[in-house]
């Protein structure tokens, strides 16, 4: 676990979360809890992104939904800012 982690959500992420199906909302709560405990847990498939999302990372929320975030460090504190939530196709414009 990172020391003193903090999780924040952008206004746009919160809007996407509000519009997501109920099963995604439920899964998101479980996944964010797991992420807070261990951002590198294998089931999250936490990985760096490329191209238009260079500098961002992604985690799995469901089989098709992803959350895109950026990690910054303020002093010794790790801050994870979640920016986007959506299906793989909607976020990346292509299928698996």
pLDDT tens string 53-86:
999 999 999 999 999 999 999 888 889 999 999 9
pLDDT tens string 7-54:
999 999 999 999 999 999 999 999 999 999 999 999 999 999 999 999
Which has the higher per-residue pLDDT, 94 or 88? 88
CA dihedral sign, ordered 20, 24, 26, 30: negative
Q: Please state the CATH superfamily assignment of the domain spanning residues 6-92 in this structure.
A: RelE-like (3.30.2310.20)
Is 87 within 8 Å of 16 (Cβ atoms)? no
3-state secondary structure of 36: helix
**Angstrom distance (rounded) from CA 72 to CA 8:** 11
């Amino acid at each position: 676990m990172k020391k003193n982690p903090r999780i924040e959500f952008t206004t746009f992420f919160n809007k996407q979360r509000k519009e997501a199906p109920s099963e995604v909302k439920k899964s998101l709560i479980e996944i964010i809890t797991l992420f807070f405990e261990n951002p590198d847990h294998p089931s999250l498939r936490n990985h760096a992104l490329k191209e238009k999302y260079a500098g961002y990372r992604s985690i799995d929320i469901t089989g098709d939904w992803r959350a895109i975030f950026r990690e910054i460090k303020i002093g010794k504190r790790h801050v994870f800012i979640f920016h986007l939530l959506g299906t793989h196709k909607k976020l990346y414009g292509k299928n698996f």
